[in-house]
Structure 1
């Protein structure tokens, strides 16, 4: 089970019809999903907000194995927040490429430019069905990550009761990081608009 993969599939197959997918926000949430899967596999443990790596191993998933090998293995170790920003850089594109490689994501030729791929669509497969089953069941980790990535309005009310401390720590860090990213984007938009207005007024 790859929570990051399932989150990406859900973002393309379900929530994209309601709201656009922001790659930056989703990349941060994907990095958080990796942490939670690595914790489930005992490849790491959280000491407060610090990521304490476990014994390196092959996790049977290329992206997760890569994530485990990227863990900082020297004390005082990396904070969850620092991991999200470091690991999250470009992670959306990396997972998208993986889905295309394994055939989970297909791209139809563009109508006007046949040699250029159009919008990606999630193929009907066991991988997609598993992700949809997690989503429709309201599985708390996937739902919490989707809320943190702004793919849904809010996390389930009973999220804290259904998950452990590690999940709560990671989800809170993802939510904080996404909030910061949104604020930076809005600030830049305002600054650019002010510059454009100043330029036009010259």
Structure 2
């Protein structure tokens, strides 16, 4: 399994405790892809620019798609720009991929992303058990990505630090992007409230 898939599995497992924003999760999944691409040496960071190398054959379809979509000519794409571009609709793509593999089923009656009319339920599988093992061991990268989208370990420990500078740069970019998206949500909510007040004569 890959870091994005592990993150999505944990997000679905924890969704009943705290509903997640689809946009936040998509940004974090794009960050998880970047981290796996770094690990596979498909890309390296020059400052915060993503400089691709010859793309290796990735065992995962979506990671292979991610590697193929890297900007290959200078000026290269920054990590932040990658998150916004690659992250668009990424949560739905990963959900669909897990569904096609039989890792997920849908039950009617509860709300969760991306469908508002059904609940996504994980099938008990080796992939799910591996993701849970990684989560319960407080693996630093998965813990940091989960924390960025609001998933906290019930034990309440702070996420362990990440030693790799490039990975830390990606994680910082994920946190910045999620914060920017939340700021935009709040701004839109205020604008809508002000517009409603105008119509009401307030």
Shared fold by TM > 0.5?
A: yes
Instruction: Name the TM-score, length of structure 2 as normaliser.
Output: 0.91
Asked if the contact 2:143–2:160 (Cα under 8 Å) also holds between the matched residues in 1, the reply is no
| Matching of residue 168 in structure 1 with residue 168 in structure 2 | yes
Please name the residue that 2:142 is paired with.
142
Please list every run of 5 or more consecutive structure 1 residues that lacks an aligned counterpart in the other structure.
none
Alpha-carbon deviation of 1:148? Answer: 1.4
C-alpha distance in structure 2 between counterparts of 1:2 and 1:156, whole Å: 23
Instruction: Name the TM-score, length of structure 1 as normaliser.
Output: 0.91
Alpha-carbon deviation of 1:197? Answer: 1.4
| Matching of residue 39 in structure 1 with residue 38 in structure 2 | yes
C-alpha distance in structure 2 between counterparts of 1:101 and 1:140, whole Å: 29
Please list every run of 5 or more consecutive structure 2 residues that lacks an aligned counterpart in the other structure.
111-115
Q: Cα distance 1:5–1:88, how it changes in 2: closer, same or farther (>3 A)?
A: same
Asked if the contact 2:144–2:159 (Cα under 8 Å) also holds between the matched residues in 1, the reply is no
Please name the residue that 2:192 is paired with.
192
Q: Alignment partner of 2:51: what SS?
A: strand
Please name the residue that 2:9 is paired with.
9
Q: How many residues align?
A: 195
Alpha-carbon deviation of 1:158? Answer: 3.6
Please name the residue that 2:18 is paired with.
19
* Cα RMSD after superposing both structures: 2.0
Asked if the contact 1:144–1:155 (Cα under 8 Å) also holds between the matched residues in 2, the reply is no
Residues 123-144 of structure 1 show CA distances to partners (whole Å, capped at 9, x for unaligned) of 1001100110000000000001
Q: Which of 158, 173, 191 is matched with 1:156 structurally?
A: 158
C-alpha distance in structure 2 between counterparts of 1:39 and 1:129, whole Å: 25
Residues 93-132 of structure 1 show CA distances to partners (whole Å, capped at 9, x for unaligned) of 1001001100111113559xxxx97211011001100110
Q: Alignment partner of 2:118: what SS?
A: strand
Q: Alignment partner of 1:17: what SS?
A: coil
Alpha-carbon deviation of 1:198? Answer: 1.2
Alpha-carbon deviation of 1:10? Answer: 0.3
C-alpha distance in structure 2 between counterparts of 1:148 and 1:177, whole Å: 10
Asked if the contact 2:9–2:131 (Cα under 8 Å) also holds between the matched residues in 1, the reply is yes
C-alpha distance in structure 1 between counterparts of 2:117 and 2:192, whole Å: 32
Structure 1 stretch 138-147 or stretch 16-25: which is displaced more?
16-25
Alpha-carbon deviation of 1:155? Answer: 8.1
Residues 1-59 of structure 1 show CA distances to partners (whole Å, capped at 9, x for unaligned) of 31001101101102x13211110000000000000001111111111101010112321
